[in-house]
Amino acid sequence: MLIVGNWKAKVERPQDAKRLFAAAKRVAEKKKHDIVIAPPAPFLGLLALGNRTKVHFAAQDVTETLGGAATGEVTATTVAAAGATYAIIGHSERRALGDTDAVVLLKVKHALAAGLTPILCVGEHERDADAQYLNDLRAQLTSVFGALSEKERARIIVAYEPVWAIGKQAKDGITPSDLTEMVLYIRKVLSEFLPARKASALPLLYGGAVESANIRVLAEASRVDGFLVGHASTDVTSFNALVKALG
Ligand code: PGA
């Protein structure tokens, strides 16, 4: 399984970042799971530059600009040069700050051009009885997949993250059966953009309230290829517990 630890802005001290990296290395050495960590940008530079460990690195975002005169922005090229091989794009916390589908597409394109693997986050804000949320999800996927070549599409990892579950505890997260349904739906949408074999091979992650209490049952019930983990990845004890629970 692929486990992506999204540290968000929760890890603020280099000593904490180093401790979490050491824990990730121990897990990655065992080779049971692929581990990707997404530190805040300065710690990406601190930990990932010249990285020769089995842990991989993701940027939490890349700029939609082309760089140059863009104070405060960090380009896909820069994070790749700093050692990232993945980039989380379209996270709901970025979308809440103004990333539209058009911006998300630009960022995905920049990430691809820099040789990064985009982890494209999609997910509904809430579930309505009329299943409008399925259309919203389809629109988020279509706005990116519809604008890329088949070769580019096949390089994307999709992370399904329902916004209502993010930051919650496992007990308030998605049920295994709802996740199973969503995985089927997302694969169906993807099959409109890729040949069947490639659509089913595209890595699909789940994120939102993934903790040691629910990771195993979610993995067993649905056909996800891994998890995008927020808060449970930002503390060594909960990260280790999570990996142990996954088995
Ligand atoms: P959470 O966050 O695990 O804290 O719910 C997941 C995410 O936002 O990627």
Q: How far apart are CA 158 and CA 85, in angstroms?
A: 15
Q: Is the CB of 166 under 6 A from ligand 1?
A: yes
- Number of C-beta neighbours around residue 4 at 10 A: 24
List of E strands, 41-175: 56-59, 86-89, 117-122, 157-160
Q: Is the CB of 211 under 6 A from ligand 1?
A: no
pLDDT tens digits for 178-224? 999 999 999 999 999 999 999 999 999 999 999 999 999 999 998 89
Distance 168 CA to ligand 1 centre (A): 8
Q: Is the CB of 6 under 6 A from ligand 1?
A: yes
pLDDT greater than 90 at residue 20: yes
Distance 72 CA to ligand 1 centre (A): 24
Q: Is the CB of 5 under 6 A from ligand 1?
A: no
Mean pLDDT for the stretch of residues 156-167: 97
Q: How far apart are CA 141 and CA 183, in angstroms?
A: 13
Q: What pLDDT is stored for residue 31 in this prediction? A: 81
β-sheet bridge partners, residue 57 = 37
Give how far Cα 222 sits from Cα of 157, 173, 179, 181, 198, Å: 17, 14, 6, 8, 19
**DSSP single-letter state for residue 130:** T
pLDDT tens digits for 38-47? 999 999 999 9
Closest CA to 156 of 88, 206, 98, 61: 88
Backbone φ and ψ for 205, nearest 5 degrees, come out as -105, 160
Strand pairing class (34-38; 2-6): parallel
Number of helical (H) and strand (E) elements in the chain, helices listed first: 11, 8
Q: What pLDDT is stored for residue 95 in this prediction? A: 98
Q: How far apart are CA 218 and CA 57, in angstroms?
A: 24
Instruction: Take atom 1 of ligand 1 and give the residue whose Cα is closest.
Output: 230
Element (H or E) spanning 217, and its range? helix 215-221
